[in-house]
A and B are shown apart, each in its own frame.
Chain A
């Protein structure tokens, strides 16, 4: 149980385009979803926390107008990287947790984004 599906797994696109990444909890309802970013040889860095039906909370230094997060249902959150540039190339990972607060977070397999 507790499967988080992330799509696409990798994407290559030209500079200036927007990219949408989907994160779905397949067998549980995720009140809260989290988005992380990971650069090569570094640890995961939290970008934002989103709750179903409300605005996401962004970490310091993360531009909310560049990284649009929508959490429209208890099983789906999306991250849109708008007007992507080469410096946005990274490994983006979503995570979800069921409503019980001490339950573990479960992670998707990540999306490798390469901007040319």
Chain B
């Protein structure tokens, strides 16, 4: 699976949009981009995933560039409870379904009041 690069940390003011970037320049055509977050002392929480089109759900929006080499996770109105480590993971969707998510170091987002 392709490697991802994320900034180590970011700050965001409460109520503003948080834009978390991710580079995955070696992504191949059958690899999805997944975003998870981990709040302190909890298991990772699924946020969103996509292949090539932009995606939106109740938690966030995922913007994938046309060449698919980078993406941005957008939390439209960040709250203090969004403070967490955010992981961008690229994973191929193989028929067996056996391939696990491999976590990098992620971005530590601090939402500030």
Residues of A within 8 A of B94 (CB): 101
Within 8 A of B (CB), among A4-35: 4, 6, 31-32, 34
For B102, give the chain A residue with the smallest CB separation: A46
Residues of B within 8 A of A72 (CB): none
From A103, A105, A106, give the contact of B100 (CB < 8 A): A105
Residues of B within 8 A of A99 (CB): 97
B32 adjacent to A43 (CB under 8 Å) = no
How many residues on chain B are close to A (CB under 8 Å)? 26
For B30, give the chain A residue with the smallest CB separation: A102
For A111, give the chain B residue with the smallest CB separation: B43
Give the secondary structure class of A's interface: strand
Q: How far is the CB of B19 from chain A (nearest CB, A)?
A: 22
Given known contacts A101-B93, A102-B93, A49 and B98 CB-to-CB distance under 8 angstroms = yes
Q: Does A116 contact B (CB under 8 A)?
A: no
Q: Report which B residues bind A (CB closer than 8 A).
A: 32, 34, 36, 38, 41-46, 49, 87, 93-106
Q: Report which A residues bind B (CB closer than 8 A).
A: 2, 4, 6, 31-32, 34, 36, 43-46, 49, 51, 57, 91, 93, 95, 97, 99-110, 112
3 closest cross-chain pairs (CB), A and B: A107-B43, A102-B93, A101-B97
Known: A104-B49, A107-B46. 13 other contacts (CB 8 A): A2-B46, A36-B103, A44-B38, A45-B103, A46-B100, A49-B98, A93-B44, A95-B44, A102-B49, A105-B46, A105-B101, A107-B36, A112-B41
